[in-house]
A and B are shown apart, each in its own frame.
Chain A
């Protein structure tokens, strides 16, 4: 536990972290004002990979915009596909066939696991443990191979179509996913022994980086950050979209609000995602993965629409304002890390810099999604 100390503003110096720094996992820059080893404040400087995705939506058709979804959050691209497909389907009232819904859930949950695995490996690496990274990337590789076989890409998926999918999954994918579930359950036990119960990890994380419920509400934090602070909020449960109301899964919630709580949330989510995939594979119906009737040109009626999904990092929302033409009039992307990162400045004050970097890692930052 870091001691509360009286910081002197007139005895500070500025420490620049990033934009190229291994701990920021991408081009993020934080200007930290330091009093010795303690942080007085931290100003985040964004925009290094800002690409103006929202303007791109206005000058291309709805279908042409789908590939952009894979380039926002490169670790959880499938959930972003899902969010965009949902808002357009809602606006144009396109029905999605049963089988497509199940395949969507399976691929999104696989993607969630792979995202958490990258986070786990990179996070423990930040804290000085090299070995878990190798195991995590090995496990993740299994998922990437599976998803590559159906989507054609390894990270920047453009798999969803309005009303359906790019193509159907095959038996090899199903059996591969089943054996992955068996393998991952074994691996999770290994991670439990190797990482979760590790005394160094616990000492580094427990009691550090405290985020409370009030702070979450003021900043709009969602995802594992909110669930690590005692907020039982998961869009899949609170606002069941697609077919998430048909599955039996738990939403892990921890009340400590420290980095370790956020760590535990993500580890538990891997197991819950496995449960969802297992049930989805058992219930998987036959049938087409694309609707028989679908408008040739996507032209949502004028008005505004909203859809939200739970990505690996939290609540991703899209507000679509349509003027009835084939291009969006305005499309706003509400990305989860944007709000989660924002609370870093307030929460890290008075922390030792080493603890602050451990805290930053526990927020699970993906910078392209913040900068958009």
Chain B
């Protein structure tokens, strides 16, 4: 079994209501409209050649720590945590990029969405210690609050910053 299939099978545990072998709603490699109506929480195979990553996972915020644990146990390291602001959906998206040290190439993007006025996510610092700075950065730029984070103070912005520059309604 390739690492992509192993990862998919492991992450499928997070979606008990879906059949593990059910075909993804968007077939692999097809262009997905990023700003269409919010998609269902699911795992989608991506075409590596055109996208640059293999698995595109969307899950509920409360599933994040469990997903992080699965990824860590499979040997993935955390590349970055990113926010994306979607004001039209009134949502903030957080994207967790994972990659591997070995020669079985598989890049996984785990995404989750929260309401724009209630941006709370659980922290994954207990699994990936290095998420600490990434979460502080996402808090700086998007105002996402990571519940349970040990030290959620500004990292790159000044310590008295009361703005979130990467929100679409921020204008310098």
- Could you tell me which A residues sit within 8 Å of B by CB distance? 46-47, 50, 52, 54-55, 58, 87, 90, 93, 216-222, 226, 231-233, 237-239, 301-308, 315, 317, 319, 321-323, 329-330, 332, 334, 338-339, 342-343, 346, 371-372
In Å, the complex CA distance between A321 and B33 comes to 11
Given A218-B130, A306-B53, A342-B132, the answer on whether A317 and B80 have CB atoms closer than 8 Å is yes
A306 B97 Cβ-Cβ under 8 A: yes
Complex Cα gap A302–B35 (Å): 8
Q: Which residues of A contact B128 (CB under 8 A)?
A: 218-220
Tell me the complex Cα distance, A304–B101, Å: 23
Task: Give the residues in chain A near B166, CB-CB below 8 Å.
Answer: 54-55, 58, 330
B77 touches A319 (CB 8 A): no
A50 to B157, CA, bound (A): 7
**Known contacts A304-B51, A305-B52, A317-B80, A338 near B105 by CB under 8 Å:** no
Q: Smallest distance from the beta carbon of A367 to chain B beta carbons, Å?
A: 12
Question: Could you tell me if B77 and A307 are in contact, using CB atoms closer than 8 angstroms?
Answer: no
Known: A304-B109, A315-B79, A334-B80. A217 touches B51 (CB 8 A): no
Give me 22 A-to-B residue pairs in the complex whose CB atoms sit less than 8 angstroms apart, sorted by A's number: A47-B154, A47-B155, A47-B156, A50-B157, A90-B49, A90-B52, A217-B101, A219-B77, A220-B79, A221-B77, A233-B102, A237-B103, A305-B52, A306-B51, A306-B107, A308-B79, A315-B99, A317-B97, A321-B84, A323-B34, A329-B84, A334-B80
| Contact call B32/A303, Cβ cutoff below 8 A | yes
- For chain B, give the interface size range: 35 or more
A216, B165: Cα distance in complex, Å: 30
* CA–CA, A273 and B133, complex, Å: 32
Q: Check A232 against B101 for contact (C-beta < 8 Å).
A: yes
Q: How many A-B residue pairs have CB under 8 A?
A: 129
Bound-state CA distance A226–B82 (Å) is: 23
Q: How far is the CA of A308 from the CA of B77 in the complex (A)?
A: 14
Which 6 interchain pairs have the tightest Cβ spacing? A306-B52, A219-B130, A334-B80, A332-B82, A47-B156, A218-B129
CB contacts (< 8 Å) of A47 on chain B: these are: 154-158
With known contacts A239-B105, A304-B34, A90–B84 Cβ distance under 8 A? no
Q: Does B141 interact with chain A (Cβ within 8 Å)?
A: yes
Main secondary structure of the interface of A (DSSP, over half): mixed
Distance in Å: Cβ of B104 to nearest Cβ of chain A: 9
In angstroms, Cα B47 to Cα A303, docked, is 12
User: Is B75's CB within 8 Å of the partner chain A?
Assistant: yes
Residues from chain A with a CB closer than 8 A to the CB of B157 are: 47, 50
Nearest CB in chain A to that of B52: its residue: A306
Complex partner residue of A93 from B50, B80, B129, B156, CB under 8 angstroms: B50
Whether A308 lies near B34 (C-beta < 8 A) is no
In the complex, what residues of B have CB within 8 A of residue A46's CB? 155-156
Query: With A315-B99, A322-B34 in contact, is A87–B52 under 8 Å at CB?
Result: yes
Residue interface bits B118-150, CB-to-A below 8 A is 1, else 0: 000000000011101100000001000000000
A residues near B78, Cβ cutoff 8 Å: 220
User: Does A55 lie within 8 Å of B165, measured CB to CB?
Assistant: yes
Query: In the complex, A172 Cα to B99 Cα: how many Å?
Result: 41
CB neighbours (8 Å) of B156 from chain A are 46-47, 50, 371-372
Residue of chain A at shortest CB distance from B82: A332
A58 to B83, CA, bound (A): 14
Given the contacts A50-B156, A304-B34, A330 and B82 also touching, CB distance less than 8 Å: yes
Residues of B within 8 A of A303 (CB): 31-34, 51
Q: Are A302 and B133 in contact (CB under 8 A)?
A: no
Bound complex: CA A323 to CA B32 (Å): 11
B101 touches A219 (CB 8 A): no
The answer to whether A306 and B101 touch across the interface, beta carbons within 8 angstroms, is no
Question: Which residues of chain B have C-beta atoms less than 8 A from A343's C-beta?
Answer: 129-130
**Cβ of A302 and Cβ of B33 under 8 Å apart?**
yes
